Amino acid sequence: MNPHDLLWGLRPEHLAANAPDWAQQVLLAGQPVVVRRALVAAGRVAVGVRGAQRSQRWAAELPVACVQRRCRPEQLRVAGEAKLPALQALQAVAPLLEATGLGWGPTGGVGYQLATGVAVLHGDSDLDLVVRTHARWSRSRAQALFQALAALSCRVDLQLETPQGAVALGDWAGTARRVLLKRHEGACLVEDPWACAEVPA
């Protein structure tokens, strides 16, 4: 299981006793949860429950044995009828990302809506994307992609997934020597997100 994958199978009884009612209702409705970055015991996966409001997010753990279905971002590249800016942006960016030859796909609200049919997007929704980059990207390559995305019809937040974690495209396209790398163990500052040698703060 990778971060941003959507999983079905979490049940209300898997939630902590203090879980909010809305989280239980989401699971009772048969909606998926999203894989998040965190260290958990063997045989379990860290997930997050997504509610109708942006503030409604709840961390949980899903026993791997209970996973009924998995949907990866790479399976959600087709936007269908794209009336909203975020979906229009997905259609526009698809040829550009396909040309990289890398695995990629939408995450966040766009990925959730495409996977479930639940209307969570609105006119101001961002387009969240992940690109699987097993080999190091140069900063100049990141800058070129960042500039191309800036011309789209909505804000795009793209994460470069490396073997060590994930770095924001905007950070790697910037000028700072150190960038924030998100890992299961927690975030850290690194000079090379593909090498993952932590830099003392």
Q: For residue 49, what pLDDT is reported?
A: 96
16 falls within a domain: yes
Do 93 and 15 lie in one domain? The reply is no
Mean pLDDT over 35-48 rounds to 95
* Size of the chain, expressed as the number of residues it contains: 201
pLDDT at 196: 63
- pTM (2 d.p.): 0.91
Confidence of residue 78 (pLDDT cuts 50, 70, 90): confident
Domain stops at, among 45, 71, 97: 71
Q: What percent of the chain has pLDDT over 90?
A: 84
| Burial class for 30, CB neighbours closer than 10 Å (0-12, 13-18, 19+) | exposed
**In a shared domain, residues 63 and 78:** no
What is the mean predicted confidence (pLDDT) over 28-52?
A: 95
Amino acid at 53: Q
Identify the pLDDT of residue 73: 96
Are residue 142 and residue 66 in the same domain, yes or no?
Answer: no
Q: Does 79 share its domain with 173?
A: yes
Q: Are residues 165 and 98 in the same domain?
A: yes
Note the helical H segments in 34-164: 85-98, 108-116, 139-150
Among 124, 128, 171, 192, which one carries the catalytic annotation?
128
Q: Is the pLDDT of residue 156 over 60?
A: yes
Q: Does residue 84 sit in the same domain as residue 157? A: yes
CB 52 within 8 A of CB 20: no
pLDDT tens-place string over residues 10-34: 999 999 999 999 999 999 999 999 9
Query: Residue 168 region, left (φ>0) first, then alpha (ψ -120 to 50), else beta?
Result: beta
Q: Report the mean per-residue pLDDT for the chain.
A: 92
Could you give the maximum distance between any two Cα atoms of the chain, in Å?
A: 49
pLDDT of residue 198: 57
Residue 108 resides in a domain: yes
Residues 107 and 182 in one domain: yes
Which amino acid, residue 109?
Answer: G
CA 44, 71, 98, 87 torsion-angle sign: negative
Q: Are residues 90 and 183 in the same domain?
A: yes
How large is the average pLDDT for residues 170-182? 95
Q: Which of 124, 126, 171, 192 is the catalytic position?
A: 126
Q: Decide if 20 is inside a domain.
A: yes
Tell whether 200 is covered by a domain. no
Residues 111 and 89 both lie in one domain: yes
pLDDT band for position 79 (cuts 50, 70, 90): low
Asked if residue 35 and residue 51 are part of one domain, the reply reads yes
The reply to whether 84 and 108 lie within a common domain is: yes
Last residue of a domain, one of 71, 104, 128: 71
Strand 127-132 relative to strand 156-162: parallel, antiparallel, unpaired? parallel
User: Domain tally for the chain?
Assistant: 2
Percent with pLDDT over 70 in the chain: 96
Q: Indicate whether 196 belongs to any domain.
A: no
Does the pLDDT at position 37 exceed 80?
yes
Q: Are 35 and 115 in the same domain? A: no
- H helix or E strand, kind and range, residue 190: strand 188-190
- Is 168 part of any domain? yes
Residue 59 lies in a domain: yes
- 128 classed as catalytic: yes
Q: What is the mean pLDDT of residues 44-64?
A: 93
Q: What is the pLDDT of residue 154?
A: 92
Banded pLDDT at 80 (limits 50, 70, 90): low
Assign 201 a pLDDT band (cuts: 50, 70, 90): very low
Question: What is the model's pLDDT at position 197?
Answer: 58
Residue 114 lies in a domain: yes
Boundaries of domain holding 179: 74-190
